[in-house]
Amino acid sequence: MQTEQELKDIVRQKYSEIALQDKETNEVSCCGSTCCSTEVYNIMSDDYTELNGYNPDADLGLGCGLPTQFAKIKKGDTVIDLGSGAGNDCFIARAEVGEEGKIIGIDFTPAMIDKARANAEKLGFTNVEFRQGDIENMPVDNNTADVIVSNCVLNLVPNKDAVIKDIFRVLKPGGHFSISDVVLKGKLPKALREAAEMYAGCVAGAIQKDVYLELLQTNGFTNITLQKEKAIVIPDDILSNYLNAQELQQFKAGNTGIFSVTMYAEKPAEAKKTCCGPVCCNQ
């Protein structure tokens, strides 16, 4: 059983490698969905190319949804992108907030931060910044963001409860998030759960959909809404790296499902008062 730090190191190493390649190189080297499917990093990605603010240099094809499309971003908003990569979702969000808004991208991979900053500099954006840090302990003050977005990142973090708590901390009262992520229905085979490549590829680190929803509720979020859901099918040539023929057949015939979901939730405009005893409860 790997520790949280070991899992983080696996993800950081793999995404450092990916940061040094563009989307086309990822695909040609069989990391993408348009080539032979020997990797799992790009098989879930959606098409961003028609969205305002799209920049091909920032698109590494690593997402599993289009959270900015559902995020209800307004002019002048402060938006934080968790796991900002090369800046793709940040630049889409920047087209929504305009010159008067602000975008903060957070990523824990130095190579991704460097790539994103270079992209922002080429575009001449002065209201988009990138900060290196863990998303379960963001380098951001309390009550900063109007909107938080994230694209296929929370599943890579071992301590998802800590991330959700920090999202609540960083959102302004009345703020909201729209997050695309990978969730499960049913149990993955042991070989898939323990495979480092499957973890870095967003599958082995996913949790049950019901558990995901429960974490949002117990951490104080309201108006929790499933904005989009789609099934993810892992090609046989990937699965066969970890499962023998019988295990592969059983997995495909079983009731385990892997899904990309886009979830929306709000931080209440006013925090609920906690009861400290009979005196304050009656006030």
Contact 83, 132 (CB under 8 A): no
**Structure confidence at residue 61 (pLDDT):** 76
Contact 159, 136 (CB under 8 A): yes
Give the whole-angstrom CA distance, residue 33 versus residue 86: 19
CB atoms within 10 A of CB 48: 22
pLDDT of 199 over the 50 cut: no
Range in 36-50, 74-88, 92-106, 220-234 the model is least confident about: 36-50
What is this structure's pTM?
Answer: 0.83
The domain ranges of the chain are 4-266
Q: Does domain 4-266 have CATH number 3.40.50.150?
A: yes
Q: Can you tell me the mean pLDDT for 35-48?
A: 56
pLDDT tens digit sequence for 54-87 = 888 888 777 788 999 999 999 999 999 999 999 9
